Amino acid sequence: MRKLFSFLLIATMAMGFTACSSNTPAPAETPTAETPAAEAPADEKPLIGVTIYKYDDNFMSFVRQNIEAAADGKAELVMNDSQNDQAKQNDQVDAMIAKGVKALAINLVDPGAAPAIAEKAKAANIPVVFFNKEYPDGTDKTGYDKAWYVGTTSAESGVIQGELIAEGWKANANWDKNGDGKMQYVMLMGEPGHPDAEARTKYSVDTVVAAGIEVEELAKQTGMWDAAKGKELMETWLAAHGEKIEMVICNNDGMALGAVEALKASGYFEGDKFMPVVGVDAIPEALDLVEKGQMAGTVLNDAENQGKATLELAVNAALGKDVLEGTSWVLDETRAVRVPYVAVTK
């Protein structure tokens, strides 16, 4: 605060001296292709256009909050809820470009739309940082050299979730209710075609099997990352399979919350009646359930650092700097920053 006050005081004095001077400064030269604009001042707050695929996604609400927190004092934001509609998001991108944003930060509705969004940004010579949903072929294949990605390595979350499940299963013989040495499970999947959903579904089970545990799938269906859909599916599966279910594997914590709600309504977590439920994201509500023993565990999907990295790369790009300048992030060969996952148990 003292530094800011001193800066303002000096700036005010400088304006006073200029007003008293009889010398008229030469007009500023308008930047052209031959005389390019100088790099923006270090204290400039660029206008960044941001879209979130849908605001009411549990995890993305935390990423959004962390983008807004990281922007404090560094950037002005134009925020958009794409409401899970790629056509709407395309229109929002057009509107932000027309508004004069200096960079775009895009959480795609459809990961396959990355090249089309990149083409819009390229035509306007505006850098773009995709985050959380990655173009399946890699951001370096979007056709634009000013496109980057911030997110995770999708397979890592499935592997860590599988390790968490295997460790819990081996440590708790009572989880094998029928004593057949086989894990009977149900799987709540995220959005079809989403790289994270596909990877978590595959690698969680593959990792359990690689740990020497035999498995049997009782049911698997998409819950679209949604708590209400997770609850509805869990109710259906309890009616169909009942006590045969020994493990509930969820691609995210939102669906896990719904599953736990359905299990509670059926008398689980009262007395000795228990059902291991695992998720991904480590949102606060899930951490509370882990602490209470109503979820066996989750995997931290680091919303804080994903939001922070997205904002920092976008600001640097908007100011014409190297996107990594002043940060601790590292880009891989696909121009992506990978934020690691961490297992969380009680």
Residue ranges of the chain with per-residue pLDDT less than 50: 1-38, 40
DSSP designation for 297: B
Task: Express each pLDDT in 42-77 by its tens digit.
Answer: 568 999 999 999 999 999 999 999 999 999 999 999
pLDDT for res 41: 56
Return the ∠ at Cα 103 (arms to 98 and 108), rounded to 5°. Answer: 90
Pairing of strands 76-81, 47-52: parallel
| Plot region of 183 (φ>0 → left; ψ -120 to 50 → alpha; else → beta) | beta
CA 155 – CA 195 distance, rounded (Å)? 9
DSSP designation for 30: P
Across all residues in the chain, what is the average pLDDT?
90
- Topology match between the domains 47-152+303-340 and 155-300: yes
Q: What are the C-alpha distances in Å from 118 to residues 97, 99, 103, 252?
A: 12, 17, 12, 28
pLDDT for res 9: 32
Q: What are the C-alpha distances in Å from 303 to residues 78, 131, 337?
A: 20, 11, 13
Task: Express each pLDDT in 234-249 by its tens digit.
Answer: 999 999 999 999 999 9
59 close to 252: Cβ distance less than 8 angstroms: yes
Q: Specify the DSSP element, H or E, that contains 17.
A: helix 2-20
pLDDT for res 43: 66
The CATH number of 47-152+303-340 is: 3.40.50.2300
pLDDT for res 28: 36
- What are 204's two structure tokens? 């969680």
For residue 336, give the 3-state DSSP assignment: strand
Q: What are the C-alpha distances in Å from 2 to residues 5, 7, 10?
A: 5, 9, 12
Domain ranges (residues) in the chain: 47-152+303-340, 155-300
pLDDT for res 42: 53
CA 149 – CA 80 distance, rounded (Å)? 19
DSSP designation for 74: T
Q: How would CATH label the architecture of 155-300?
A: 3-Layer(aba) Sandwich (3.40)
